[in-house]
C-alpha cells in the first residue's frame, strides 16, 4: 500500500508540475499583476485583532509598514519541480491545508487547475485509507486463521492460495527451426535482459518529467527542456523498435493476442505521432508565426507528457523483474527528494 501511495503521489505530482509548474508565483502587492512591475516598496497593512475596535476599518488609522515588493511562490508549497510537488501532496494526505492549495490554484490558474487536486484527495485519502485498513484486516484474518494450524495444514493452505493465483501464460508458439531469424528474435524478446532494458527505459522516460513541459519554460531553461524532450523522443523510437521485434518474433497474430501488447502498440503510435508534431511541425514553425506556433507547442507539450505518463502504467506487470524496477524507481525518487531538500 505504501508503494502504491508513493506511485499515486508521483503521478499526480507530475500532473501538477506540468499543469501549474512555475505559474503560481505572484507579487506580494495584490495590486501588481505582472512580474515586470513588481519592484519598489508598498504600504502593507498589519493585522491587529479580530475584535471590533475603534479605527479598525479606517485606512488612515490602520497601522502599516513599508515592505519591498517580491515576486514569489505561495508560502507553504509550489509545483515547480516533482520534489516540492510530492511534498505538497504528502501534506494533503492529512487533510490539513489542502483547501489552501485548492483556493490558490483556483485564484491564480482558474477552476480547471483544481480538478486534479480533488481527484487526488479522493483517490489518495479515501481509497488509500480504505486499502490500508483492508490490508490490516486481511493480515489479521490471515494470521488468526493459520495460527492454530499444523505444518501440513499450513502447507495445504498455502498450496490452495498458490493454485488460485496461477494463471495460464498466453505465449505465442516458438517459430520453426527453419525460420532462424524469427527464432533469434523470439528468444531475444522473451529474455530477461530484454525486459529489464525496456523497464529501465520506461523509468528513464518518466524521469524526463522533472522539468515542466510548457512554453514558458523555454524562456528560462530552453536547453534542458529540449534535451529531455529529445531524450523522450529517442526512447519512444526504441519502443517502436521493441514493437517491431515482437511482431517479427510472434507474427502479428501472435502479437495481437496479448492485451498488454495492444496497449503498448497504441501508446507507441501516439508517441511517434507526438515526435512528428513536435519536432517536425511545432519546432520548425517557430521562425514563421509566433502566435499559432505557441498554441501548437502548448498542445504538443501537453500531448507529450500525457504519453509519458501513460507509458509509465505499462510497467505495472506481475513479473518479478518489473516489481523490482518499481522498487528501484521509488528508491531513486526518494533519494531525489532528499537531495532537493538538501
pLDDT at 124 over 60: yes
pLDDT of residue 57: 64
CB neighbourhood size of 235 (10 A): 19
| pLDDT class of 320 with cuts at 50, 70, 90 | very low
Nearest by Cα to 116 from 92, 137, 97: 92
Least confident window among 135-144, 157-166, 211-220, 324-333: 324-333
pLDDT tens digits for range 296-309? 888 898 899 889 98
pLDDT at 17 over 80: yes
Nearest by Cα to 312 from 208, 190, 173: 208
pLDDT at 323 over 70: no
pLDDT of residue 36: 84
| pLDDT class of 331 with cuts at 50, 70, 90 | very low
Distances (CA, A) of 252 to 39, 66, 188, 210: 64, 72, 17, 36
What is the location of CATH 1.20.120.350 in the chain? 176-341
pLDDT of residue 271: 94
The burial class, CB within 10 Å (0-12 / 13-18 / 19+), for 109 is middle
Identify the DSSP state of 281.
I
74-83, 229-238, 298-307, 325-334: which is most confident: 229-238
Least confident window among 32-41, 78-87, 106-115, 161-170: 161-170
C-alpha–C-alpha distance, residues 152 and 317, integer Å: 32
Calculate the average pLDDT of the chain.
Answer: 79
C-alpha–C-alpha distance, residues 78 and 81, integer Å: 8
pLDDT of residue 167: 63
pLDDT of residue 339: 44
pLDDT at 181 over 50: yes
Contact indicator for 33, 27 with CB cutoff of 8 Å: yes
Rg of the Cα atoms in the chain: 26
Q: Which CATH number among 3.20.20.70, 1.20.120.350, 3.30.830.10, 1.10.260.40 corresponds to the domain 176-341? A: 1.20.120.350
pLDDT of residue 276: 93
pLDDT of residue 321: 45
C-alpha–C-alpha distance, residues 28 and 58, integer Å: 22
pLDDT at 53 over 70: no
pLDDT of residue 341: 44
Amino acid at each position: 500500500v505504501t508503494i502504491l501511495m508513493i506511485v499515486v503521489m508521483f503521478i499526480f505530482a507530475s500532473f501538477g508540475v506540468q499543469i501549474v509548474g512555475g505559474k503560481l508565483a505572484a507579487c506580494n502587492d495584490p495590486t501588481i499583476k505582472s512580474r515586470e512591475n513588481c519592484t519598489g516598496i508598498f504600504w502593507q497593512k498589519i493585522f491587529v485583532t479580530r475584535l471590533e475596535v475603534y479605527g479598525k476599518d479606517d485606512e488612515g488609522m490602520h497601522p502599516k509598514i513599508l515592505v519591498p515588493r517580491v515576486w514569489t511562490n505561495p508560502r507553504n508549497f509550489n509545483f515547480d519541480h516533482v520534489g516540492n510537488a510530492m511534498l505538497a501532496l504528502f501534506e494533503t494526505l492529512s487533510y490539513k491545508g489542502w483547501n489552501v492549495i485548492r483556493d490558490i490554484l483556483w485564484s491564480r490558474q482558474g477552476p480547471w487547475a483544481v480538478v486534479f487536486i480533488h481527484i487526488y484527495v479522493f483517490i489518495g485519502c479515501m481509497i488509500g485509507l480504505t486499502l490500508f485498513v483492508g490490508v490490516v484486516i486481511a493480515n489479521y484474518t490471515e494470521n488468526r486463521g493459520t495460527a492454530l494450524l499444523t505444518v501440513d495444514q499450513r502447507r495445504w493452505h498455502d498450496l490452495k492460495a498458490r493454485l488460485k493465483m496461477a494463471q495460464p501464460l498466453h505465449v505465442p508458439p516458438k517459430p520453426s527451426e527453419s525460420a532462424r531469424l524469427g527464432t533469434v528474435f523470439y528468444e531475444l524478446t522473451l529474455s530477461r535482459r530484454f525486459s529489464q532494458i525496456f523497464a529501465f527505459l520506461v523509468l528513464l522516460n518518466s524521469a524526463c518529467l522533472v522539468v515542466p513541459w510548457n512554453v514558458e519554460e523555454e524562456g528560462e531553461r530552453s536547453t534542458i527542456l529540449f534535451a529531455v524532450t529529445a531524450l523522450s523522443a529517442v526512447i519512444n523510437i526504441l519502443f517502436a523498435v521493441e514493437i517491431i521485434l515482437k511482431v517479427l518474433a510472434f507474427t502479428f497474430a501472435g502479437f495481437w493476442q496479448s492485451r498488454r501488447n495492444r496497449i503498448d502498440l497504441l501508446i507507441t503510435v501516439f508517441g511517434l505521432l507526438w515526435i512528428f508534431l513536435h519536432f517536425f511541425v511545432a519546432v520548425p514553425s517557430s521562425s514563421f508565426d509566433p502566435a499559432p506556433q505557441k498554441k501548437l507547442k502548448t498542445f504538443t507539450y501537453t500531448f507529450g507528457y500525457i504519453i509519458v505518463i501513460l507509458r509509465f502504467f505499462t510497467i505495472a506487470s506481475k513479473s518479478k523483474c518489473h516489481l523490482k524496477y518499481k522498487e528501484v524507481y521509488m528508491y531513486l525518487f526518494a533519494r531525489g527528494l532528499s537531495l532537493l531538500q538538501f
